[in-house]
Every structure is written in C-alpha cells, then in structure tokens.
Structure 1
Amino acid sequence: MEALSVALLIALGIALIVLEMVVLSFYLIWLGIAFVIVGIISFFYTFGSAYSQLALGAVLAVILLLLFKERAKKYLFRHSPEHEDVFLNEGGEGVVKEGRILYKGTYWDPYPSDLVLPEGQRVKIKRVRGNQVEIEPL
C-alpha cells in the first residue's frame, strides 16, 4: 500500500481532534495529535507504505497518552474551591414587603415562617438559609 499524503494525515489528525470534542473520550485527541505529527514528519521524510505511517501514528499516540494524559487531566479538570455566598451571611437589615423580606435587592421567605410582621417593618437579618432569611424584628 502506497504512503498516505501529508494533507490526508493532517486532515485525519484534525478530524480526530474535532471528534474528541464531541465524544469526550480523552483518547482520540492523542491519536489526532499523533497523526498531525506523522503528517508533518511525512512532509520531510518519505515513508515506504501507509502501514509504516499508521504504525508510527499508533506508537506516537501511545507515547503521548502515557506522557501527557495525567498532566492534561489535572490541568483541565482541576477543581475550584467551593464558593459560598458569604456576602449573604454578613447580616444587615431588610424590610417586610408583601409578607416577604426585601434584603439585598431580593425577596426572601422569612424564618421562622409563622412570624407575622406588619408591612414596612424593618428586620434584622441573622443569616440566610437557602431561600429563607432568619430574622428578628427591630
């Protein structure tokens, strides 16, 4: 079998890289990069057959996989620290409007929910619990 063209090898490599973006297997990218490298090598060196190009591509893919998979995973899938909405638990004052508490531009359900407060009453916010604010009348 005659050697594959440079353009075909590079196109195959790019197609595998694009396919990786769809499939998300984290293996096709290494095969795609390997075929792009084989395409570049084929530009400077004439291979005797397509089998030698495919074999070199497979070997390069395994080497790339072993060398870079863990590093790439650590870089791509690093976890950010958990964020809390700390600004909500600063405390402060809210106003009773329509049976709910207006606090920091948002309406919240009061906690305890059985607390009856008149419209316009100012309340002290102790803390935020989900979609409720723990309050005490001022």
Structure 2
Amino acid sequence: MPKTLTRDRLITDLDHARLTNLRDAGLPPELADALDTLDVVPSREVPADVVTMYSQVLIEEANGHKRQKLTLCYPHEAEPHNGFISVCSPVGAGLLGQRVGEVARWRTPNGDVCEAEVVSLLFQPEASGDYTT
C-alpha cells in the first residue's frame, strides 16, 4: 500500500527562481502548477531529505518490482538513458520537493498514473554545502 504524503513539498528559493525563469519557455502544466503550490525555503534551510535540483534519488516503483537511480536536472542536461531526468518531464516534476519515504506520482504521456516511493536520497547539493548549483 502506498504511503501517504504527510508533509508539504518544498523547493529552494534558488530552484524556484530558476524554474520560474523557464516559464516563458513553456513549462509543462504539472511543473507550472507545482511551482505555484510548493513551499519555498532558503537553500540553507532545506531539509536533507528533500529532493532538490541535482539531487540523486533512489526510487522504487509502487509494485516493488523495480528500483531506479535518477538525478533531477534541467531540460538541456537530460540524458534519460543515463538516469538524468529533466524536471520538465512528468517523473521529474513529480519528484521535485518530495521527501524520502514519500510517494511521487505522475502521468505518462498516454495518461497512465504512475507512482514510486523515494527510497533514499543518495546526494543533495544543499546537504553537501552547495547552495549555488
């Protein structure tokens, strides 16, 4: 049974500013909506268990059959076959701001609902003292 969301999703002030600047390029609706609803916090205050830009996460599909290691990045850096997932993709938009133990949800291009638990955060820039990446 999927876990329920217990806390608000967060985004750092720097990530919010950078993603807001991409609005003119036409953000997908799920990301544009997320930018309007995520709680914005200073980069130095984001908890170490929150998925931020350039975080590397381990997710497990809801059925428990597959785990994947993904790095959340900007669209021009995406290399899905190498695990670099654009924040503008449905998966990326679903992961942004989630915490370890929470379930990210997104829709595939054909409308199917997918979900995966954030099993662990292998790397988060802010947790390593990088507040400007």
TM-score category (smaller protein): under 0.3
Q: Which has the higher contact order (CA 8 A, sep 6+)?
A: 2
Structure whose CA Rg is larger: 1
Greater percentage in strand: 2
TM-score by length of 2: 0.24
Greater percentage in helix: 1
